[in-house]
Amino acid sequence: MSKLKGILLTEGMHGMKSQVEGLAKALGINYVHQKVELNSLAKLLPARLTPISNLFFKKFNVPEIDLIISCGRKSVIPSLFIKKNSKKKIINIHIQDPKVSLKNFDYVIAPEHDGLEGKNVIKSKGALHYLTIDEIKDNHNYLNDKINIKKDQLLLILGGPTKYYNYDKKSISPIFETLKFLAKKYDLQIVVIPSMRTPTKTIDYAKIFFGKGNVVIQDVDKKAYLSALSISKFIVVTCDSTSMISEAGMTGKPIYVAQINTNKTNDYKFRRFRQLFTELKIIRNLHNNLEIWNYEKLDETARIANILKKRLQCHF
């Protein structure tokens, strides 16, 4: 099969970009990434009630393509519009629950914890992403000049506030206290890695709280993130990020989830996701003890891509 051409559609958020680009790279296609912008009316309407028309999103150039990979609510209508109005047959793939009839898409990639069912649904364990095992290995030494080589590292990966989880000092302090206790108990060095959602005040607080002898990366730095995943003996991820927990699952290392009290009652998808990863023996809740355990390394992006490659052969 010759190299396919695709367009990736997202709202521009890092987590969504990571999923579509990760899948596109794993499929080995040539692609362009287009950020979708809805008009004010479409922002108010659910996707299932929005007409399939380019009047509802900011127009953009569509190159000659064979397939569409979309992710997120805002990308649904543009994906359907491009497919409907194309002069050739285009395969459209959507990542996550599109909140419209699944029949609108050739394939839907949905996390197991979303509970979607259908002949065209391919279920993933956790979120797809753009990290690879080779990248993690290649960046092993990136933090060498910052870490204490005489100690093992305890990595904290910080997410950020969402409509479900608050990142105020009251929410974060108990996590920091537990990590400081564990670092002292097991003679570990703490390495803190922020994400794009991490508030500056949380990073500054971590810098002050953990002080000298530990490492707090203050800017978003992919190489530092990859290096920290490679060098750390233990990994702690805040509970708000299914994507970063999924990414950490590639390492095969013990992953502890730091709980933050939710400000909503309907965070059941997050809880189902964590329950699945607990059953897979990938994660445990963060407490006052650390243990080593083993599980099968998770590389869902590669697995899903291999399934799609076989199915796409029927179309091209």
d(CA 259, CA 242): 13
Residues 157 and 21 occupy one common structural domain: no
- Scored b (16 or more CB within 10 A) or e, 236-251 reads bbbbbbbbbbbbbbbb
What is the C-alpha to C-alpha distance for residues 8 and 213, in angstroms, rounded to an integer?
Answer: 43
Indicate the residue type of 304: I
Stretch 131-154: mean pLDDT, rounded? 96
pLDDT at 183 over 70: yes
Instruction: Indicate whether 199 and 306 sit together in one domain.
Output: no
Average pLDDT over residues 22-32: 96
Q: What pLDDT score does 22 carry?
A: 96
Indicate if 212 and 269 belong to the same structural domain.
Answer: yes
**163 and 80 part of one domain:** no
Q: What is the CATH number of the domain that holds 159?
A: 3.40.50.2000
Q: HSE of 68 in the Cβ direction (CA atoms, 13 Å)?
A: 28
Output the pLDDT for position 1.
Answer: 52
The Cα–Cα gap between 66 and 240 comes to 35
Strand partners, 157: 193, 237
Q: What domain count does the chain have?
A: 2
pLDDT value, residue 162: 87
pTM exceeds cut of 0.85: yes
Tell me, what CATH number does 99's domain have? 3.40.50
Tally Cβ neighbours within 10 Å of residue 218.
14
Q: Which tokens is 152 given?
A: 């093992």
Residues 174, 34, single domain; the answer is no
Q: Please report whether residue 290 resides in a domain.
A: no
- Residues 31, 114 within the same domain: yes
Quick one: tokens of 198? 């991490």
Identify whether the C-beta of residue 107 lies closer than 8 Å to the C-beta of residue 122: yes
